[in-house]
Each structure stands twice: as C-alpha cells, then as structure tokens.
Chain A
C-alpha cells in the first residue's frame, strides 16, 4: 500500500512539475515571441541620435498640433519658404516670386528637379502644391491650420513650375504666410495611397521617413536625391523622446545620444561643466513665457459676471505684482531676458516699452487694487496645465508673487486636455502659457484673443480696455505701408496690448540645444521647430 501511495504522489508531483514547466515555457515563449525588432542604429558613426523633450501626436504636419512633430517633420516635408538663422525668409521649394501690380496675386516659380522621397519618387510640380493647399483649406480635412488660408482666395498651377495665388486682400506677409506651420508640401501620391500622412509623411526634405515606434524612436534616413548637394550630413537620424531631465543629461554625457533638442534650462550648468558637451543658446523671437489674463465680459456660462480681471486696474495690478527677474532666474535658469512687449526688444519688431516694474512692485499693485472697485484680497482663479514643468513653475511662481501683492490666487493644476476645456469655457481669470508665434505680427495667429466671428468669442473684449483700437490695428491692411510704417503700427499694437495687461510677458526664454563636441557644422536656429539637424556632421 505504501508503495502505491508513494507511486501516486510521484505521479502527482510529476504532473505539477510538468504543469509548471509548461506554464513557464508558454509564458516565456509568449514573452519572447512578442519582443519584436524595433530597429536599431548600426553605430557606424553616420547615425545621429537626438533627444526630444516629449512624444509626438502625429507625423502629419498639416494636422499635427505638437511642436515636437514640427521639429521632426520639418526636415522631412518642406514648405515654399522658411526663415533662416538670421530670421530672414528664404525660398525653399519656391525659387522666386513676383506680385501682380495691384498686389492681389503672386506668381511663384517653383524650384525644378525637386524629388519626393521613395517609394513615391517623382519631380514635385505646381499641381502638388495646389493639391496640398486644397487639402489644408478643406474644412472636411479638419486641419487646425485652415486659417492660413483666410486671405488666400484661390491658387492654381500655371505651368509645371509656376503657381499663382490670388488674395482676398493684398497680403503683407506673403513669405511668412507660406512658411507657416501646415503649409508643407506632402506627396499627393502618398496621401492618395496611404490615406493620410499621420504615420508616414512623404515629402522632399533632406531626410526620408523610415519608421516610427511611438514613444520609442523616429527613424529618418538621408534622402539621396535631395536638391542641395552634400546635405544631409549624416546617413540616419533617430529622434528619441526622453522627458526625464536626469536621464536625458546622463544619455548625452555618456555619449548614448549626440544631441539634446530640449535642454532642461535649470540643469544647464551640469552640461556646461562637461568638456565633451557644448550647449548652444540663441535668442528666440518666437518664445515667451506669458500669463493670459481673461478680460472678457461676455455672457458665457463659465464666466463669472463682474470678474475682477474685466477691470484694467486689476489687470495692471497683476502686471505690477509679476517679478520678471524671478521668472528669468527660476523658470528659465537665467537663460532668458526680461521684456513686457510681445517681441523681445532687439527683435526686428521689438519695442522698448516697460510700463510695469520689472522686479515687481506690490505697493503699486495694492494702489491699483484700491483704485478699482474691488477689495483686497482680490480672488483670482488661475488654471495651469501640469503636463509641462515650465508651465507648472510659471503658475506656482505667479501664484506666490500675486499672493504677496493683494491677491488670493486659487491655482488649479490640470492636465492639458482639461486645461483646454476650461480655457474655452472661460472658467478662469489668469493662466500661464508658453509657446511660439509667427515672426511677423501681421499673421493673424494671436490665439483666440482676436477672434471676431460670432461663434468664436475672444477673451479680450472688455469695455475697460484698449481692445477697440487693438482690434482695429489687427484688422488693418498694412500692405501698402512701408516697413517703417508697419513697425510703428505694430509697435502701437504692442504698447496698447501691454497697457491693457491681457497678455503679460513673464520673460523671453532663449532657445537651447546641447551636442557632443564631435557633432560639427550644427548651428542653432532661433526657432526651435526649424531644428537644422540636416546640417550636422559627426567627426569621431
């Protein structure tokens, strides 16, 4: 009997072992089978690895919203014009242009011999530009860049390399309009074949798209038929999203990657102390840390009637409470300049105008509150997007500064989607923001402050403001004005905006990239979306 029991147990134990082995084996097989090839660099010295500060939403430049997408796709898909390192517009796919006598149309000669990337290789012609313009301007496409075409009435090919554009009104910033985000020329063949470009953009740029594994890497390869000889300088580029600053810094210091696109400004000292790493800075005309102040008195559900920020005194008190030097040091690690107008002072559109204290004046802020109909502490609702560190810093810093100057700020941090919803519901008084703007103030891309149609309400329309005159300038046709007259017009625009304190500049941060010292020929672009990675070469 004992022998039988042992024998039974042995059988049972054997089964258990078999079962566990089978389970373990099946699990391992499933796990390993799933580990697909995700692509890799060959380490041959012609491959560049670049960090990005965040992920991408899409690779379709006509539909994408995120800056990182533009950083990558601008080197894959080109536009007719692009600003150079001096911020002067240069023809890219265009070669030259001529305005008609009345300024109502332009004839653009396109560059000949420009080839789309494989497998859709063929020469780019004017009909391709027309196809892309039709796509972006079509409301059914749902492009956020549709407003680029507000002043473009019609466009058509007048030959293989001749494009005609008719304007609603003479266009004062033609080159800048055609260089705007979303004016990219994608391969129509690829769009027809693949439906859209959101996961496979095909253009004419120095790099061709190879592969995108979301949140892992974007792999670009050199376009052999690129129309500029000797460009790009490397065979391949891998863009890798790395958000954690400690990880990104370690990666470049150890040489795992060669370039940081997004240098964490408050950690810059660590990189500058490293002999193997160079940090390049440049004044960025399009970057600003700012506070948007809700001046609307619209009767919208979310907007509290009689909100304090409808009063110009209160808005100016907010401006007096803001310490710009603090923002420069804390939010931008010292790599920024103070300024209170939209464009930095030494920009071509810059204005030397600072009506409020740079270092904060809480006493003056309190005086302004006293002059208003509100009593201290003035309660304000600040909403802030918590997804990005610099926005959180801006919000927290501003909250502290305002609370020291007669305000009581309720700071509500939320992720970006909720922030956008609250923003559009007008449920806020003040909100920090950052980002870029067009290099030319004539381009009507000043957010929704200046929307004037019935369905889209601006938040800058309080009677206690200079809004009427500001809107008048904004709508004014400046085509016939000389550059000097245009400067004066937009200088007035900036001064009025500044006085109204609806668009408070905290500081103008610099654009910064870091690179290993063996990366050569790379020079930082003032606008970081035009990251000139195609010029970089590796000299080991």
Chain B
C-alpha cells in the first residue's frame, strides 16, 4: 500500500472514529446525574419553573431526537449557545482552545527537548551515575502530583522569589513578553511531568534496542558507540516514542484542568470543568468533541508520520 493510499484509509477511519466519539460523548453527558434546569435555577426552584426551563432548553424531547438535532447543528457548523450565559460556543472555543493548544505545544516541545536527550544519555550510560540522574528525574516527574508541583512553583517563583506571575493569561499578539512569562510556570509544571514520561519510555526502548542483535552486529563491524547510539538505536527507539508524544499532546489539551485551576489559566480545561459543574450540555459536548478531535487528528498525524518513517506499518 502506498503512503497516499494509507493516508486516505487512515483519514477515513478517523472520520468514523470521530462520529463514534460524538455518540459516546452525547450518551455520557446525558448519563451524568443532575438536571441542567435545576442547576440553572438553583435549589429553591419550583417544579413549574423547572419545567419551563427544560422546555426552553429542549430537554423535554427524547434523547435520540436531541442527539440528531445536535449532530445536524454541528454538521452545519452551528455549535449552539451555552445554556448558562447564552454565549456562542464557537466564540467560547475560539478563545479557549488556542490557549490550551499553546500550552500543549510549548510543553511538548520543551518536554521532548529535555526527555529525548536525557533518555539517550541515561540509556547509553546504563548503571552509571548519569543513568541514575535520568532515572531519578523520570521517577520524580511521574510521581509528583501536578497540582502540588504547581503550588510549590508558585510559592517559590511567584511569592518567595517573585520573578514570574502566579496566574493569568495575556495575548501573544498584544503582549508577547507577558504571554511568555505567564506561561512559564504552567509550562514548566507540565514539562516536568511529560518529560519524565518521555524519558522513562524512550530509555526503556533504547535499552531494548541496545541489547538487540543488530547493535551487536554493528559493534562487530567496528562502528563507534556514539554512531550506534545516535544513528541506529535512537532512531529506532524514537519511532514508537512518537506515538507516546502524540498521546501526551492530546492528553494535555483535555487533561490540564488541575493545572489551569492552579494557575487560573483560562483554557479549554476550565471551560469543560465549569460546564460539567453547571450541566451546560452544549458546551460540555462541544468541548469534549474538540478534545476528541484533537486526539484523533494528532493520532492521525502520528500514524501518517509513523507510516512514512517505517513503511512496514502500511502493510
């Protein structure tokens, strides 16, 4: 199968996955206990008032009918409005999503830049102090809770030594420097965790490859250890690591609620959290769909790159 055929096949299957995701998302959202009308009106609302609001929100219709109305709206790019404040969901996502995207992109660039060399350095010096440094970093990063690290960094670098702001966000276009300094602490927090995962995964891949026969053959041919590690082993070990990086990227977009909460960083995670707490179904559904779409697109890109780098995958 040529790469083009492979790409078309994978793209089509991604569309089906996205459709499946929409069904799952819609169903899960409806399964969460709690009535949006009740949340909207508060615990003192009377039944008659609740009924009016339910009808207004279309919640009196059968669930399958609600799903098809939602799906047809999404397909015509009418994402609807928030139950709570009537804001256009298109606008909400247009503001919040890029912020999380920026956070995720910077985190993954930094995490990769730290994690990859550290893993290669550790694995190629196995059981030495250098390897222990890499191991310690990866253990530390995967063990420490992100909210704890975030608060510690705030206390250290915003309170004790006030060099970075503890929270907030500024536009990159209006205030590039302010945008950068506001991102430092959340990005560092996420980087420590994600770089540790990359280090851990790549190191073990490296070790597996270093013990394989082709490496022994290369050594027998007299290739230098540096060449073997960088040219052959790292290259092979990096291919599966790309998948991990892709998954991490999607995970950051949808899973940084705690970090966004700690740093009051107004990304899609907080939007989703608020929407869930208020049972704002349209916003929950579209936020989850946006996150699912990110996962699917990132995985598609990873698969396409993977298929390009390793033609065996295409067969």
Query: Which A residues fall within an 8 A CB radius of B?
Result: 16, 19, 23, 27-28, 30-38, 40, 55-60, 63, 65, 139-140, 142-144, 146-147, 195-196, 198-199, 212-216, 240-244, 246-247, 249-251, 253-254, 256, 387, 415-418, 420-421, 423-424, 445, 447-448, 451, 453, 455-456
Residues of chain B from 144 to 192 with CB closer than 8 A to chain A in the complex: 151, 154-155, 158-159, 162, 165-175, 178-179
| Residues in B neighbouring A416, C-beta threshold 8 A | 39, 277
> Once the chains bind, are A215 and B270 in contact (CB under 8 Å)?
yes
In contact, B169 and A38 (Cβ under 8 angstroms): yes
Knowing A243-B261, A417-B34, A418-B34 are in contact, say whether A448-B86 is a contact too (CB < 8 A): no
- A40 contacts which of B43, B166, B170, B271 (Cβ < 8 Å)? B170
CB pair B34–A420 under 8 Å, yes or no, is: yes
Residues in B neighbouring A420, C-beta threshold 8 A: 34-35, 38-39, 42-43
Interface size on B, as a range, is: 35 or more
Of the candidates A214, A244, A447, the one having the most CB atoms from chain B within 10 angstroms of its own CB is A214
Binary A-proximity of B6-45 (CB < 8 A = 1, otherwise 0)? 0000000000000000000000000011111011111111
Given contacts A195-B86, A250-B155, contact A34 B101 (CB under 8 A): yes
Chain A min CB distance to B262 (Å): 5
Contact status A214-B105, CB under 8 Å: no
CA distance A38 to B171 in the complex (A): 6
- What are 25 A-B contacts defined by CB distance under 8 Å? A32-B172, A35-B99, A36-B95, A36-B173, A38-B169, A57-B40, A58-B86, A63-B40, A142-B41, A144-B44, A195-B86, A214-B274, A215-B96, A240-B264, A243-B261, A247-B166, A251-B167, A254-B165, A415-B277, A417-B36, A417-B277, A418-B33, A423-B43, A424-B38, A451-B46
Q: Which residues of B contact A243 (CB under 8 A)?
A: 261, 264
Q: What string of 1s and 0s marks CB contacts (under 8 Å) between B255-295 and chain A? A: 00000011110100011001011110000000000000000
Q: Please, which residue of chain B has its CB at the minimum distance from the CB of A35?
A: B172
The reply to whether B179 and A35 form a contact with Cβ atoms under 8 Å apart is: yes
Chain B 84-122 near chain A by CB (<8 Å), digits 1 or 0: 111100001011111101100100000000000000000
CB neighbours (8 Å) of A212 from chain B are 85
With contacts A38-B95, A214-B87, A415-B277 taken as known, whether A246 is within 8 angstroms of B43 at the C-beta atoms is no
Contact for A37 among B162, B167, B173, CB less than 8 A: B173
Distance, CA A112 to CA B303, complexed state (A) = 69
**Given A247-B166, A254-B166, CB of A455 within 8 Å of CB of B171:** no
A388 to chain B, nearest CB (A): 11
Of B173, B263, B276, the contact of A247 (CB 8 Å cutoff): B263
Residues of chain A within 8 A (CB-CB) of B270 are 55, 215
Q: Which of B87, B96, B168, B178 counts the most chain A CB atoms within 10 A? A: B168
Whether A65 contacts B49 by the Cβ 8 Å rule is: no
Contacts A244-B263, A251-B165, A416-B39 known; list 5 others, CB within 8 Å. A32-B102, A57-B40, A63-B40, A417-B38, A421-B38
B52 on the interface (CB 8 Å rule)? yes
Check if B2 is an interface residue, CB within 8 A of chain A: no
Q: How far, in Å, is B302 (CB) from chain A's closest CB?
A: 11
Other-chain contact of B279, A214, A241, A253, A417 (Cβ < 8 Å): A417
The answer to whether B262 touches A196, judged by C-beta atoms less than 8 angstroms apart, is no
Task: Report if A241-B85 is in contact (Cβ < 8 Å); known contacts: A246-B155, A447-B44.
Answer: no
Q: Does B143 lie at the interface of the complex (its beta carbon under 8 Å from any beta carbon of A)? A: no
Q: Binding site of B, secondary structure by majority: helix, strand, loop or mixed?
A: helix
* A456 to B45 alpha-carbon distance, docked (Å): 9
Chain B CB within 10 Å — which of A58, A142, A253, A455 has the most?
A142
Contacts of B170 in A (CB 8 A): 38, 40
Beyond A57-B278, A142-B41, A415-B277, whether A35 also contacts B271 by CB under 8 A is no
Bound Cα distance A17, B24 (Å): 38
Closest to A456 in B: B46
In contact, B264 and A241 (Cβ under 8 angstroms): yes
Interchain CB contact under 8 A, A240 and B168: yes
Contact B158 A254 (CB under 8 A): yes
Q: Which residues of A contact B53 (CB under 8 A)?
A: 142
B158–A250 CB distance below 8 A: yes
Q: Are B49 and A244 in contact (CB under 8 A)?
A: no
The 9 closest A-B pairs by CB, nearest first: A34-B98, A417-B34, A216-B266, A65-B42, A144-B41, A35-B172, A198-B86, A250-B166, A58-B85
Q: Which residues of A contact B94 (CB under 8 A)?
A: 34, 36
The complex places the Cα of A448 from the Cα of B49 at a distance, in Å, of 14
* B278–A417 touching, CB < 8 Å: yes
* B174 with A37: CB separation less than 8 A: yes
Is B78 located at the chain interface by the 8 A CB criterion?
Answer: no
A253 to chain B: closest residue by CB: B159
Looking at the complex, which one of B42, B46, B56 makes contact with A455 (CB distance below 8 Å)? B46
Q: Does B5 contact A (CB under 8 A)?
A: no
> Whose C-beta in chain B lies nearest to the C-beta of A32?
B172
Chain B hits for A455, CB < 8 A: 46-48
Expressed in whole angstroms, the Cα–Cα distance for A240 and B167 within the complex equals 10
Query: By the criterion CB–CB under 8 Å, are B151 and A246 in contact?
Result: yes
- Measured CB to CB, the closest approach of chain B to A361, in angstroms, equals 31
Within the complex, what minimum Cβ distance (angstroms) separates B99 from chain A?
A: 7
Find out whether the CB atom of B85 lies under 8 angstroms from the CB atom of A36.
no
Distance (whole angstroms) from the CB of A24 to the closest CB of chain B: 9
B142 interfacial by beta-carbon distance below 8 Å: no
Cβ contact of A139, chosen from B36, B40, B49, B179, cutoff 8 A: B49
Q: Compute how far the CA of A34 lies from the CA of B92 in the bound complex, rounded to whole angstroms.
A: 12
Asked whether B207 is an interface residue with its Cβ less than 8 Å from the other chain, the reply is no
A144 contacts B42, CB within 8 Å? yes
- A56 to chain B: closest CB distance in Å? 8
Kindly provide the distance from the CB of B73 to the nearest chain A CB, expressed in whole angstroms: 18
Residue B301 at the chain A interface, CB threshold 8 Å: yes
Structural contact, B38 and A256, CB atoms closer than 8 A = no
- Establish whether residues B84 and A445, one from each chain, have CB atoms under 8 Å apart when the complex forms: no
Question: Could you tell me the distance between the alpha carbons of A387 and B279 in the complex, rounded to whole angstroms?
Answer: 14
Q: Which residues of B contact A139 (CB under 8 A)?
A: 48-49, 52
A445 to B44, CA, bound (A): 9
With CB as the reference atom, state the residue of chain A lying closest to B275. A214
Q: When chains A and B are docked, how far (Å) is the Cα of A424 from the Cα of B40? A: 15
| B43 and A447 form a contact (CB under 8 A) | yes
* Bound form: Cα–Cα A57–B278 in Å: 8
- With most chain A CB atoms within 10 A of its CB, the pick from B86, B98, B169, B261 is B86
Which residues of B sit under 8 angstroms from A213, Cβ to Cβ?
95, 266
In the complex, what residues of A have CB within 8 A of residue B38's CB?
417, 420-421, 424
How many whole Å from A244's CB to the nearest CB in chain B? 5
Chain A residues positioned under 8 Å from B39 (CB to CB) = 65, 416-417, 420
Given known contacts A35-B172, A40-B174, A241-B264, A55 and B95 CB-to-CB distance under 8 angstroms? no
Contacts of B92 in A (CB 8 A): 214
Residue of A nearest to B178 (CB): A40
The answer to whether A242 and B264 touch across the interface, beta carbons within 8 angstroms, is: yes
Chain B residues lying within 8 Å of A37, measured Cβ to Cβ, are: 171, 173-174
* Minimum distance in angstroms from B87 CB to a CB of chain A: 5
Task: Give bound CA distance, A420 to B32, whole Å.
Answer: 13
Does B56 lie within 8 Å of A448, measured CB to CB? no
With a cutoff of 8 Å between Cβ atoms, the chain A residues found around residue B179 in the complex are: 35
A35 touches B162 (CB 8 A): no
In the bound complex, CA of A190 to CA of B249 (Å)? 43
The CA-CA distance from A30 to B165 in the complex, in Å, is: 26
A198, B81: Cα distance in complex, Å = 11
The answer to whether B166 and A55 have CB atoms under 8 Å apart is: no
